Structure 1
Amino acid sequence: MNLFGGTISTLEKSLKYASVKNQTISNNIANVDTPNYKAKDAVFKNVLHNTMSTGVQAKRTHENHMPFDGTSDSSFQIITKQNTSYNSNGNNVDIDKEMAELAKNQIYYQALVDRINGKFGSLQKILQGGS
């Protein structure tokens, strides 16, 4: 029995993505002065695009449901930005961009935590008899 229709699972995956993105950004910031270090990024759009182009295997239960043709075991991936160099030492970490991405990711993470807390709060209220 799925109490929230997959919402908790989706929020869990989103929290995992936000955590990996935060770790990736933190690694970039920590290596801002490391010669030849190439910035990394956790991305979702590329995986979605690749999945949709290769297809996803899924069972359609209604003719109005979207068809899928392929598989993907992860909702995101870590990529290395190879084509840029901002510093003379070969490092391509833009500290201003990384700090902005970190702030944006922290807001995203906090929104997810607030949403999952709301779901658990609803469950707790139901278990206590709705009062």
Structure 2
Amino acid sequence: MALFSTTISSLERGMNASMMQQQAIASNIANVDTPNYKAKQVQFKDVLSEAKGELLAHRTDERHVPFTYHSEQMKQVNPRNVMYSHSGNSVDLDKEMAKMANNQIYYQAVSDRLNGQFSSLKTAIRGGS
């Protein structure tokens, strides 16, 4: 039996994905002037595509479509077909800063939702007061 709902587990995975994305962005920004450095990115799309056939949930009716779910594995990759500067570096600082801002907004939204879930649990434990 799980201690927390699947919502909390999903939010936790979302925060983990955001943290991994932040690490890749920070590494790219830190190496913006490093010759021959190849920008990294976190790859979610391929992982999601691979997991599509492995999703499973509780079905309340046998007519519902079955699907399975397994913990997703995120990975950092060096993208191909990118433009390089004269030093062989593929980091675009403007794009990285935009990705960082987007990632921070996403992380804050997930964090706020997780705080709401814990507030609901706290209210339930206290008996609604």
TM-score range, shorter chain: 0.7 to 0.9
Q: CA deviation at 1:39?
A: 0.5
Is this contact kept in 2: 1:47–1:75, CA < 8 A?
yes
**Structure 1: distance between partners of 2:87 and 2:58:** 53
Q: CA deviation at 1:6?
A: 0.4
Root-mean-square deviation (CA, aligned residues, Å) is 2.3
Q: Which is further off, 81-90 or 7-16?
A: 81-90
Aligned equivalent of 2:81: 83
Q: What residue identity is the alignment partner of 2:29? A: I
**Structure 2: distance between partners of 1:57 and 1:45:** 15
**Structure 1: distance between partners of 2:76 and 2:11:** 20
**Structure 1: distance between partners of 2:124 and 2:22:** 34
- Return 5+ residue gaps in structure 2 as ranges: none
Kindly, what percent of the aligned residue pairs are identical?
Answer: 45
Q: What residue identity is the alignment partner of 1:119? A: Q
**Structure 2: distance between partners of 1:130 and 1:12:** 25
Q: Do residues 20 (structure 1) and 20 (structure 2) align?
A: yes
Q: CA deviation at 1:56?
A: 2.1
Instruction: Say if 1:66 and 1:121 are closer, same or farther in 2 by CA, change over 3 A.
Output: same
- Return 5+ residue gaps in structure 1 as ranges: none
How do residues 80-119 of structure 1 correspond to structure 2 at under 5 angstroms?
Answer: 80-119=78-117
Q: What residue identity is the alignment partner of 1:20? A: M
Q: What's the CA shift string for 1:82-126, capped at 9, x where partnerless?
A: 332331011000000000000000000000000000000001011
Aligned equivalent of 1:29: 29
Give aligned pairs, total.
127
Matched residue of 1:36: which SS?
A: coil
So what's the TM-score if we normalise by structure 1?
0.84
So what's the TM-score if we normalise by structure 2?
0.85
